[in-house]
A = this chain, B = another copy of it.
């Protein structure tokens, strides 16, 4: 499985993805799920992938091939971010279609989801979540992040911390904590982690970091968050559940 999250705040974009892939329990491997495309100063794209590995790999290959062979459209020729999302959505839908018809039935699932984020010079920085069907939604002020894969474990912390005016570095930390909660509760999500921080209008993808499982900062955040959550829990007020009236509850029997 997978967990990828992209946050869009006023200051820019943050992307965090895990890299554990399993196709059956004896094919547990590590694949990066973060791919970057662009030309410094002109356009920057980040693609995160979840779902069938054959599908996502073939989509990424096709994106590269289209650029190299100057096929139209490709990520270097699209005029805006929405067009880029449409392009990736169409590639994804057609790759899934191809693989699904080749092997019909048998519980085979070729579906894949993508997050596409970035900026084209002259436009604003945006994030899209692309469904297996190829259609997509975008991150907005009210929904400043998008997730794919195992999205639920890490959602509560994002809901509490992220708003559109959250600072870029804060958003990065929130995404890391969200990833940590997911890794804690789901063994199929794991390091190394890809982290990419994109400052609005920088049109540069040079802040792409890879955190290994033994990265000191990752270990520190993991331990500190665990400890602080336990402290927070210890500080909550306890009530005496033998005296229900003290908590204004009603005994049923």
- Chain A contacts to B: CB under 8 angstroms: 36, 150, 152-153, 155-157, 159-161, 169-170, 172-174, 177, 181, 184-185, 195, 197, 205-211, 215-217, 220-221, 224-226, 228-233, 235-239, 241-242, 244, 247-253
Give Cα distance in the complex from A247 to B211, angstroms.
9
In order of increasing CB-CB distance, the 6 nearest A-B pairs are A152-B152, A228-B232, A217-B247, A209-B249, A156-B181, A155-B185
Residues in B neighbouring A205, C-beta threshold 8 A: 253
Interface residue SS majority, chain A? helix
Q: Which of B184, B231, B237, B253 contacts A206 (CB 8 A)?
A: B253
Please state the number of chain copies in the assembly. 2
- Tell me the minimal C-beta distance from A184 to chain B in angstroms: 6
Q: Which of B232, B241, B253 contacts A225 (CB 8 A)?
A: B232
Q: Are B210 and A184 in contact (CB under 8 A)?
A: no
- Given A209-B252, A210-B252, 12 additional A-B pairs, CB 8 A: A150-B152, A160-B229, A169-B241, A195-B241, A197-B241, A206-B251, A207-B244, A207-B251, A208-B252, A216-B247, A217-B239, A225-B236
Q: Which of B161, B228, B251 contacts A209 (CB 8 A)?
A: B251
Residues in B neighbouring A150, C-beta threshold 8 A: 152
